[in-house]
């Protein structure tokens, strides 16, 4: 049986969430850390678009992080990240992840690299991203996680991007009126699941 391979880049938020799902599901695999300046020919042969993560399993290539997460959870989802018994929560999960991956990611990029987007000041892009932060703060008003009393796919899929937004200006983030979101992020950053996938090998 061929080896399961994940081509990854440690600091890429898409790769982070894929690694967390794979680790949680207990899939045995080998992780290949990629240099984005010198991408391996093996990875480019599997996925010519050249972005991480790329999972190769049993001859199948999956090169979208969310698809990798779903594949991992289909193998094993012991704590019900997919919220199988709650269709309403599943719909909200898909909506949140879609908003994160499309609109919020655009605002995040412009806020983080504001010098590349001189049409508006950095604060403008940050304020656009804050709309999503306020939505998440509201979801956390009733519980410690976004959609359930435990981690779900939504929490894990969003966290690397919220982390990146928070780290653009940590002093600013610490003063924001999002205490629940701050606590949610801190719990994640200290959790064994995250620290394990971020360990330098």
How do residues 16-25 score in pLDDT, each as one tens digit?
999 999 999 9
Q: Which CATH class is domain 87-191?
A: mainly alpha
Candidate from 28-37, 133-142, 167-176, 182-191 with smallest mean pLDDT: 28-37
pTM of the model: 0.95
Supply the mean pLDDT for the chain. Answer: 96
Q: Residue 2: pLDDT band by 50, 70, 90 thresholds?
A: low
Give the tens place of pLDDT for each residue, 110-136. 999 999 999 999 999 999 999 999 999
Strand 30-33 versus strand 5-8 pairing type: parallel
Nearest to 201 by CA among 7, 6, 1, 10: 10
**Numbered ranges of CATH 3.40.30.10 in the chain:** 5-78
Lowest mean pLDDT among 21-30, 32-41, 65-74, 101-110: 32-41
CATH 1.20.1050.10 residue ranges of the chain are 87-191
Work out the pLDDT band at 200, boundaries 50, 70, 90.
Answer: confident
SS3 category, 192: helix
What pLDDT does 1 receive? 46
Separation between Cα atoms, residue 180 and residue 141, nearest integer Å: 7
**Mean of the pLDDT values across residues 55-64?**
94
Longest dimension (CA), the chain: 53
- The superfamily in CATH containing domain 5-78 is Glutaredoxin (3.40.30.10)
| Burial class of residue 141 in the structure, from the number of CB atoms within 10 Å of its CB (0-12 exposed, 13-18 middle, 19+ buried) | exposed
Enter the DSSP assignment of 4: P
CA distance 21 to 27: 9
The answer on pLDDT for 201 being more than 80 is no
């Amino acid at each position: 049986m061929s080896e399961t391979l994940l081509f990854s880049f440690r600091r890429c938020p898409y790769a982070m969430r894929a690694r967390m799902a794979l680790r949680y599901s207990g899939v045995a695999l080998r992780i290949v850390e990629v240099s984005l300046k010198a991408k391996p020919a093996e990875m480019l042969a599997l996925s010519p678009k050249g972005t991480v993560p790329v999972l190769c399993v049993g001859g199948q290539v999956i090169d979208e992080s969310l698809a990798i997460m779903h594949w991992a959870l289909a193998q094993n989802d012991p704590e019900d990240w997919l919220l199988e018994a709650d269709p309403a929560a599943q719909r909200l999960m898909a909506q949140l992840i879609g908003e994160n991956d499309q609109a919020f990611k655009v605002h995040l990029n412009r806020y983080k690299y504001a010098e590349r987007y001189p049409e508006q000041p950095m604060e403008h892009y940050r304020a656009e991203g804050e709309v999503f932060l306020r939505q998440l703060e509201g979801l956390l008003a009733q519980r410690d996680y976004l959609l359930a009393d435990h981690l779900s796919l939504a929490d894990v899929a969003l966290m690397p991007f919220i982390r990146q937004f928070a780290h653009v200006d940590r002093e600013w983030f610490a003063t924001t009126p999002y205490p629940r979101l701050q606590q949610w992020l801190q719990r994640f950053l200290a959790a064994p699941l995250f620290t394990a996938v971020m360990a330098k090998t």
